[in-house]
A and B are shown apart, each in its own frame.
Chain A
Amino acid sequence: MSDEKRYLKLHLIVLALVVIAELIGTKSYKLGPGTIVLLPMLYALLLGLLTGPKFLKIIDKEDMNAAEGLITVSVMLLMAKYGTNIGPTLPLIIKSGPALILQEFGNLGTILLGMPFALLLGLRREAIGATFSIAREPNLAIISDMYGLDSPEGRGVMGVYVAGTVFGSIFFGLFAGFAATALPLHPYALAMASGVGSASMMSAAVGALVEIFPNMAEEITALGAASNLATGADGVYMSIFMALPMCEWLYRKLIRDRAEEVIKG
Chain B
Amino acid sequence: MKLSLKDPVVITVIVAILTLVGNFVGYKIDPITAFPGMLILFLIVIVGMWITKIMPGNLPAVVYVSLLGIILTMPWFPLGEKVAELTSQVNFLALTTPILGYAGISLGKDLDSFKKNGLRIVVVAIFVFVGTYLGSAVIAHTVLKLTGQI
- A residues at B contact (CB < 8 Å): 3-4, 7-8, 10-11, 13-15, 17-19, 21-23, 25-26, 39-42, 44-54, 59, 61, 63-65, 67-71, 73-88, 90-91, 97-100, 102-114, 117-118, 121-123, 126-127, 130-131, 134-135, 137-138, 140-142, 145-146, 149-150, 152, 155-156, 158-160, 163-164, 168, 171-172, 175-176, 179, 183, 185-186, 188-190, 192-196, 205, 227, 233, 236-237, 240
Contacts and interface: CB of A to CB of B under 8 A. Distances in A.
B102 A102 contact: no
Interface residues of B, number: 99
Chain A interface, >50% SS class: helix
A59 B104 CA distance: 12
Nearest to A49: B104
Chain B interface, >50% SS class: helix
B78 to A, nearest CB: 13
Contacts of B107: 45, 48-49, 149-150, 158
Contacts of A130: 121, 124-125, 128
Interface of B: 4-6, 8, 11-12, 14-16, 18-19, 21-22, 25-27, 40-42, 44-45, 48-49, 59-63, 65-75, 77, 80-81, 83-84, 87-88, 90, 92-111, 113-114, 117-118, 120-141, 143-145, 147, 149-150
> Which of B71, B96, B144 gathers the greatest number of chain A CB atoms within 10 Å?
B96
Given A103-B136, A110-B131, A114-B127, A7 B6 contact: yes
